Amino acid sequence: MRLTVSTWNINSVRLRIDLVAKFIKATRPDIICLQETKCPDDRFPHKRFARLGYPHIAMNGQKGYHGVAVISRLPFETVDTRPFCDKHDCRHVAVTLGERAGLRDPTVLHNIYVPAGGDEPDPELNPKFAHKLAFLDEMRVAPFLHTQPNERAILLGDLNVAPLEHDVWSHRQMLRVVSHTPIECEKLNAAQDAGGWIDVMRSFVPEPEKLYTWWSYRARDWAASDRGRRLDHFWASTALADRVTSMTVARAARGWTRPSDHVPVTVTVEM
């Protein structure tokens, strides 16, 4: 069975539902995971997704801020949400796909939105940055994010860190900019290593090739300047990583009308 999974920080699902629909009609993923939905669960656009052929939705949302959702053509076996840093700020949702989805072996999918961290890369001066570092530390030690040798699992989402030198437009100039500071990169890499995760995107686009999924709204001409960052990630457990057959970044979506500053990433897995 072939499974296609997309991840996208949509920056308000209700504001950009037409863009999500446009992407879905063009790509037809089996599952699309959204971050920064900015929508309480009782206001989520269920009917629109059902009309698009996606009746199964797992949400963890709130009004105005954060929020994550898994939208699927396939039914779930279980849905789970976990708080981080003793905050209930809607940054995680997980689903298990199994027999009801036509899978012989169950697969767990974690959709995560890591805090952005503000502008000042000093945890003493900036509580938002301190929260981000604590969140990454909790990802590293969380047992439910530690994969087992034969476990089929995926972790994806807006992890808000560009960990590698060529995940940013200028490694030297970005070292003091939140999302690429050494401490953030070290903590995200530690979480990946502790969980036994494989960076699927870089398996397809190895360094030193540049790879971006985000371009700032502040840029007058984002395409011409191309000062991007890879903030969105797709990790797979070792049991699943060698079954990933393709990965695409929908860069063109950044140029759509009233776009998100992130673009979708889609991965195909032979289950």
Mean of the pLDDT values across residues 126-141?
Answer: 98
Q: How many CB atoms lie within 10 A of CB 162?
A: 28
pLDDT over 90 at 225, yes or no: yes
CA proximity to 110, closest of 128, 122, 94, 88: 94
CATH class of 2-270: alpha beta
The end-to-end CA distance of the chain, in Å, is: 5
pLDDT over 90 at 220, yes or no: no
Reading the block at residue 90, the tokens are: 């809607």
Q: Which residues of 195-225 are buried (b: 16+ CB within 10 A; e: fewer)?
A: bbbbbbbbebeeeeeebbbbbeeeeeebeee
Domain boundaries, the chain: 2-270
3-class DSSP assignment, residue 146: coil
Beta bridge mates, 34: 8, 69
Per-residue confidence (pLDDT) for residue 157, from 0 to 100:
98
Per-residue confidence (pLDDT) for residue 177, from 0 to 100:
98
pLDDT tens digits, residue range 43-101?
999 999 999 999 999 999 999 999 999 999 999 999 999 999 999 999 999 999 999 99
**Residue the block writes with tokens 């950044």:** 254
**Residue the block writes with tokens 């849905």:** 79
